Amino acid sequence: MAIKANLIVDQGADYSTTIMLTDVEDNQISLTGFTANAQMRKTYSSSNSVAFTVELNESLGEVVLSLSDTQTANIVAGRYVYDVFLTSNNITSRIIEGIVTVTPRVTR
C-alpha cells in the first residue's frame, strides 16, 4: 500500500521534492537496481499526463521528483492526482500517491 502525501506546485516555477525511503527501523533502503517513474493527471482516468523527472539516490534511499519552470508554466492551475512507481526484478510497486495542487501564477 502506497503512502499518501500531497504536493503543492507553483505554476511557472521550478519544483523539486525528495522522498526518503526507510524501513520499519528507520534505516535507509538501498535503491540499487531500481527504476522509477511518476506522473500527474487531472483525474485518474485522464489520457493527458505530466511526467515528473525522477532521480534515484540509490545509496541514500532517496527519490527526487522534479518539474521544470517550463513544465509548470504549461499546467493549468488546479487539483491533480499523482503517484510514484518503483520497479526492480520485474516487480513494480506504487510507493507514494496523492494530490498535487498547482497554484496560479501572478507574475508573468
Superfamily holding 3-103: Immunoglobulins (2.60.40.10)
Q: Which of 82, 80, 77 is nearest to 95 (CA)?
A: 82
- Report the chain's terminal Cα–Cα distance, integer Å: 40
pLDDT of residue 2: 86
Per the structure block, which three cell numbers stand in for 90? 520485474
Q: Is 6 helix (H, G, I), strand (E, B) or coil?
A: coil
Is the pLDDT at 14 greater than 80, yes or no?
Answer: yes
pTM of the complete model beyond 0.85: yes
pLDDT mean over 49-72? 97
Nearest to 44 by CA among 5, 4, 79, 10: 79
CA angle 35, 65, 92 (to 5 degrees): 30
pLDDT of the residue at 21: 93
**CA gap 72, 42 in Å, rounded:** 14
Kindly list the domain boundaries of the chain, sorted by start residue.
3-103
